[in-house]
Every structure is written in structure tokens, then in C-alpha cells.
Chain A
């Protein structure tokens, strides 16, 4: 009988076959996974930090890639202080959201109310060596600003009805026609005759008289003449030499014509030291308040820059004692500001001030100075009225008071040079005051600044305890260079306003000084704008966009000048920007064609020196 083919299960087994174990894969897998995890954790604890890192850091940070403590604080994440430690070594506080708001709005109150923003929110690390920390997404900007280039508002410089004049009487029309006549170029090709590319080819060299204007506006070095002006109003050559005015050595006596108590110059050079010094003198005499305020601003800027330069010692460069001393000083300042805030809130300082004025009044009456005592009584009355909650001064009154105090500080400094540092400090504080801002705002700002600085010192002390290496002092070099450059510039500007404070003149005398200035600067006024007795600052070479960067070079590869500056050849006023505004940007920066990213043009962080 043939064998029967099997269908289905061949036969019953005599016993249950041993089935595969339930945990055959799981247990070994879990054990293997656990072992791998423990190995990685052990490697991390032994210093091989890359094991747990979600990704490599950028090339610039690669030297601290495995030093997590440089940026991370256990259980607190990445604090801004750690970024500022290297990127804001001069402790300027320019990398905070408040600094950004101040940069954009110039309003300290808005800045004080700015929300805290973590650096790491925009600058995302651990995306690999080739990632860029600058690639900030537009949505981050859109949280406070507009959402796209399509809704970008017009540039402030075009929106503003009070556009700042560039300080020159200049019309493109005449100059374009002249260049066309001389060079035979078409209108569209004339621009680059004056607007010459920098060697770096990113943008243009600033327009310079010697390079661009002198060929037409100076004959054999002379820009014109100065008619006779009274010697009583101006300083002659001898006087300039006696004062050591810079550049005076180039002047020769034969260039001066003196007769009947007047002096004239048949030939003037550009930036003539005699004219500039005397204009400065006439300005000081005809507008002493304005001159003092201008000088005070420069002095305050110098004081501020000097203070920053002095404070620009990176914390990492201080030893433990130095850090503790700085912490103690900051704690003291912070506590002081807080106490003064509390006093201010209670109104005690107003009462104390009134009492003090009462003492002064009594003393003045005792010595028989009734007029002064009455003045103090009036002041006491007004101080009592302007207690907490009183309306702040209007801008005009505020500026008048400021000028008054600045002039007083000048007088104090001149009377006692030993008081110069204190006067400088007060001047700096006075200039930084904003109309409408009350003492509480200022004190709160000071307190917050000191506390932020204190937090940095404490963090540095903590890092020392952990043995974390300090960043290299060389990181500060760029900041220092910027500060020193700005300081030298401010000092040079102050030196050019070197006329000492004089007894105020009568109004008719002041008017006469202004008329003398008009005569003296007649040759200058062919191109420069003369306001009162002063030449306006020339701003032609300053960038129009202050919170954005624009480079002409790459744009000129795509289009000619007229594409954005249409009608420039017909412009007759220097105030004209001849610029179509944001619309001309939108013409090319369309989506999917040319980048529309905010960071393409805009700066978030202010520069080291604003």
C-alpha cells in the first residue's frame, strides 16, 4: 500500500515542544542597551563629553566643545552671562535685549521694560561645525516687529518730516552736468566719478574736499577770501600762535591784511585754522549756552568712554581678590541705589532737601544777604511743590536746566581742577538723563545695571571654583580699539571747541559777533551751512541707515545707480535722498529670488561704541 501524503500537521507530538523563550531578545537587548548607556555615561563623566552632546558646536566654539561648563550651568542651562563673558568682555551690556530696544528706540524706559531674552534662543548651538550662529530665523524678529519685507515700514529717514540736513549746500544736478561736460560721460555713468569704490570694494570712499571738490572749488589752494572783520571780535595770527592752535604753523603773516582795526584774508584755504578758531570763538561768545552744552556733551562722552575703557578689564583677567573687591563695590552701589529708591518712594529726601535749603536760607539771612535768602526761599518752595508724583519738566525747561548745571560744572572744574573727576562723572550722568525720566527710573536703571554686573562677577567666581579656564584677554582687544578710536575722535572734537567760557555778552554784542561770523565764513558758506556763528557738521559721508547695513558694491553688480536713486541728476537740494525707499529693495528682494531675511540687512546688537 503506497504511503499516504501528509496534509496539514504531520502527526501529533508525544510531548509539547519547547517553545522559544518569551524574553529571548528583550533581556539581552536591554542588557546590551544598558551597558552601552553606562559606557557612554562613564565616558562623559571621565571627560569624553562628546558622548552626550547632541551635536558639535560651531567652528568658532570648537576649542571649548567638550568643556560644557564654559557655557552650561548644571540644572540652569545656558545663561546669557556665559555668552557675554567672551562676546561682551568690556561689560558694555550691548548684547542684551534691553540694549537692542535702546538701539532701536533710543528710549531708556522702553529698554528697561524690554523682556529678558536668552542669547541661545536666537543663536542655536550644537548644530555641527559648519552651522552658523548668525542664522537667526525671521520669526524671532516678527515677535516684536513686522512679519516680512512686504510689510516692512518705510525707512525712518524717509518718513521723518524733519530730515537731518547733511550740512552742505549741494545739488547733484549742477555737479552731474559739470562731470558730463568735462568727461563726456552719459548721465548714468557720472556717479562713479565722485563715488569711488573703497579698495575693499565693499562700498564707497567718503567724499573728500581734496579729492573731489578742490579741482573746481579751489584755485591754487584758495577757496576765496575773507572780508575785513574787527580785530576786537577775532584773534589774529599772533593770538593763534600764542594759543598753540593746531595747523597754525602753516599760516604766514603775509596772508593777513590788517588796517584800521580790522583784519582781512585775500586768500583762504579749506579748513583754514584761523577761520575755524575764530568761528569757534564767535560761536562761544554769541551762543554761550549752546556752546557750553555742546562742549559738555563731548566732555560727557569722553568721560563715559574713559569710564568704559577703565572698566574694560575682562573679569577673567582679575584674580580672586580683584573679583571679590569688584563684587563688594558693585554690591555697595546696588544697595545704595536700592536705598535711594526707597528713600525717594517715601519722600524723605524731598523733606531733607527742603530742610537743608531752610538752613542755607537762615544762614544767608544771618549774614544779611536778603536777596540770596529770598532766592533760596523760592527754591525751597518749588522743591516742596515738586515732590514725588509732580509732573516732570518739559523738554525745553529740562534742556535749559541741564545747560545751566553743565555751565556750573564747567565753572566748578575751572575753579578747582581737583574736582575734575567728580565734575566729569556728574556731567556724564547729566547728559545721559532723558527728558521726562524721573529719578526713580534712573535709579532703577542703575540698580539693574549693577545687579547684572554683580551676577557676572559671582558667575566668574563660581567658574574659578570649578577650575574653568578664563577666556583669553585678547578677546577684549577689538572692543578696546573701538573705544580708543571713539575717545580720540571725541577728544579731537573737544579740542576744536577749545574756547574757554567767557562772561556772557549783551544781546547786541552777541548779534554783532554773529554778523562777524557771517563775514568771516562767507567763503565757507558757498558750500557749508552756517547756523548762527557755527558751520553745521558735515554728515554727507555718514550712513543713512543707522540700524542696518547696506553695501553698494554687490548691488552695483546687479543694477545701475539710477535703479534706486532715480531722478538724482535733477536734484538741486542736498537734503534730497534721491532714494525710492523700501520699494526699491522689494523690487529685487522677492521671495524665492533674493534673500528677504531680516539679518541680511539689519543689526540686532548695537556696536561697541554707538
Chain B
């Protein structure tokens, strides 16, 4: 699956429903705007603000899907609702403001956090679809993120065992050029661009070495090369699965901050 394929919705029906809901919301906004001046504090402006709040609260309940939400549907359905309602919540926020630039820090913070949370959420959805597909297509090895350090250690041990009785030249080659690259996981952002990035350059020393060793040691060099390739697969896994895990850092804390500011916003509206 290419990056374009990752943009294809899993359930097109939900996309259409969301589009229709957005159109209805915009239509209601246009009608209300033609009837009376727009104010976030009253009338339709307030209704959209309340709707946005309700949806945002629902969005924040997403982590409960595993533990307590079973009666409300499968995890996949929760995710679909989380994504599409999140988009509608941002639209409701924009309508609530009357598509006007806020006048102060609190207003800007609320608007930008809403936009940021929604955009990072959508980027996350795209990554969740695109990265697994890319890894499945480009890599030979599959591994659980949490197991990768242990697997790498296992590869090092296997490589060490291979060169126990090897010639001095091979052992020196292993020590200076191979072991260091096998010893620890080496994540890289480059793998986001190409999962096979740097692979040819990494194998070049092995191809050179194989011409210098005795015929009986050629097999050891080939094995070391295979181990190196597996290690590189694991590096790619570690890098890309790390992205899949860590994109939440840019999504969840801003969402929590948005929730806190939203509470204050509602408090200020109720009191003043």
C-alpha cells in the first residue's frame, strides 16, 4: 500500500456520513447567520459550542474503549467514531467562533489546540495505515516492538558464536566493522522515507571481505551478512513502530490541555 492508498478510508460510508453532517452544519450556520448576528454566547453559536464540547468529551473517552466500552461497540467502531467525530468537532468549533479569528490568548489557545489535536489525530490515522503496509512490503522480519532489543541481543550472540574459531582477518573484520553495528538498536528517521535505506552501503564491507577470506570462511561471512540484514530489519521496525507509538505524544497531551482550557472556558462563560 502506497501513501495514496493509506488515504483511502477503511469505511467509505462513514466518510460520506461525515461529509453530509458537515454540509448540514454549514447550512445551519448559513441560515442562522442570515437570521441573526452570530454570537458564540447565544443562539445557534452557543448550540454549536455545546455540541463541540460534548463531542470533545466523547473523544477524550476514547481510551476507555478497551475496558468499559464493549457494550457500545467494537474497538474499530470506537476508532471510527473517534476519528470522524473529531473532524466534526473541529468544524463545530470553527462554526462556534463564526469563522472569526479569536481576540485573545485563551481564544487562540482553544482554537489552535482544537486544530492541532485534530490534525495530529488524522496524521496518526494515516501513519497507522501506511507504516505497517510499508514494513510488510519492504522487510523480511516481523517483530514486536517490545521484543526488538532482545532479538538484537540474540543476533549479537549468534554472530559472536560464528566467529569464535574464525581467522584473525575475519575476527578483526567482525570486531571493527560488524559487531558495533549489531550491538544496539539503531533507529533512524530515514526509514520513514525508505525502509531499505542504507542497506547496500551496509552490505558492501561483507561483499569486499568475502573476496579475501578462505573458501571455508565464506559461509561465515555470508551468515554475518544475513545477520546484519536482519538487524537492519529490526532497526527499521524499531524506528517505524516507535513512530507509531510516539505520535501520541503530539496528540494526547495537547488534547488533555485542550480539555483543561475547555473546562475553564465553560466556567468563565457560566460565571460571566
Segment touching A, from B76-84, B144-152, B199-207? B144-152
Q: A7-B140, A54-B107, A74-B272 are in contact. Are A26 and B256 (CB under 8 A)?
A: yes
Q: Report the minimal beta-carbon distance from B187 to chain A, rounded to whole angstroms.
A: 16
| CB neighbors of A among B50-76 (8 A) | 63, 66
Inter-chain contacts of A595 with B (CB < 8 A)? none
A260: interface (CB < 8 Å): no
Q: Report the minimal beta-carbon distance from A150 to chain B, rounded to whole angstroms.
A: 15
Q: A2-B222, A52-B264, A54-B265 are in contact. Are A139 and B150 (CB under 8 A)?
A: no
B272 touches A72 (CB 8 A): yes
A6 touches B267 (CB 8 A): no
| A5 vs B158: C-alpha distance when bound (angstroms) | 13
**How many pairs of A and B residues are in contact by the CB < 8 Å rule?**
146
- Of the residues A2, A29, A51, A55, contact of B255 by C-beta under 8 Å: A29
Encoded as 1 (CB less than 8 Å from any A CB) or 0, chain B from 210 to 239 comes to: 000000000100110011011000000000
B144 nearest CB neighbor, chain A only: A17
A26 touches B63 (CB 8 A): yes
| CB neighbors of B among A122-138 (8 A) | 122, 124, 126-128, 131, 136-137
Segment touching A, from B10-18, B168-176, B246-254? B246-254
Q: A25-B252, A139-B37 are in contact. Are A37 and B154 (CB under 8 A)?
A: no
Q: Report the minimal beta-carbon distance from A24 to chain B, rounded to whole angstroms.
A: 8
Segment touching B, from A8-16, A293-301, A542-550? A8-16
Encoded as 1 (CB less than 8 Å from any B CB) or 0, chain A from 479 to 517 comes to: 000000000000000000000000000000000000000
Q: Report the minimal beta-carbon distance from B34 to chain A, rounded to whole angstroms.
A: 7
Encoded as 1 (CB less than 8 Å from any B CB) or 0, chain A from 46 to 88 comes to: 0000111111100000000000100010110110000000000
B246 nearest CB neighbor, chain A only: A25
| A594 vs B197: C-alpha distance when bound (angstroms) | 60
B144 touches A53 (CB 8 A): no
B259: interface (CB < 8 Å): yes
Contact residues of B: prevailing secondary structure: helix
- Of the residues B100, B150, B252, contact of A26 by C-beta under 8 Å: B252
| A33 vs B113: C-alpha distance when bound (angstroms) | 12
Q: Report the minimal beta-carbon distance from B170 to chain A, rounded to whole angstroms.
A: 15
| A74 vs B268: C-alpha distance when bound (angstroms) | 9
| A433 vs B230: C-alpha distance when bound (angstroms) | 100
A28: interface (CB < 8 Å): yes
B102 touches A37 (CB 8 A): no
B141: interface (CB < 8 Å): yes
Inter-chain contacts of A131 with B (CB < 8 A)? 103
B193: interface (CB < 8 Å): no
A252: interface (CB < 8 Å): no
How extensive is the interface on chain A, given as a class?
A: 35 or more
- Of the residues B63, B150, B260, contact of A37 by C-beta under 8 Å: B260
| A56 vs B38: C-alpha distance when bound (angstroms) | 19
Inter-chain contacts of B158 with A (CB < 8 A)? 3
Inter-chain contacts of A8 with B (CB < 8 A)? 141-142
| A53 vs B264: C-alpha distance when bound (angstroms) | 10
A9 touches B143 (CB 8 A): yes
Given pairs A74-B271, A136-B37, 18 additional interface contacts (CB within 8 A): A3-B226, A5-B230, A6-B140, A10-B151, A11-B151, A18-B146, A22-B66, A32-B253, A33-B253, A34-B256, A36-B257, A50-B104, A52-B106, A52-B268, A54-B102, A54-B268, A72-B272, A124-B39
- Can you give 27 contacting A-B residue pairs, CB < 8 Å? A2-B223, A5-B229, A9-B142, A10-B230, A17-B144, A17-B147, A17-B150, A20-B245, A33-B258, A33-B260, A34-B256, A34-B260, A36-B261, A40-B264, A52-B264, A53-B268, A54-B268, A55-B102, A55-B104, A74-B271, A75-B271, A78-B272, A121-B39, A126-B103, A126-B107, A139-B33, A139-B34
Q: Which B residues are within 8 Å of any A CB, using their own CB?
A: 33-39, 41-42, 63, 66, 100-107, 140-147, 150-151, 154, 158, 162, 219, 222-223, 226-227, 229-230, 245, 248-249, 252-253, 255-261, 263-265, 267-268, 270-272
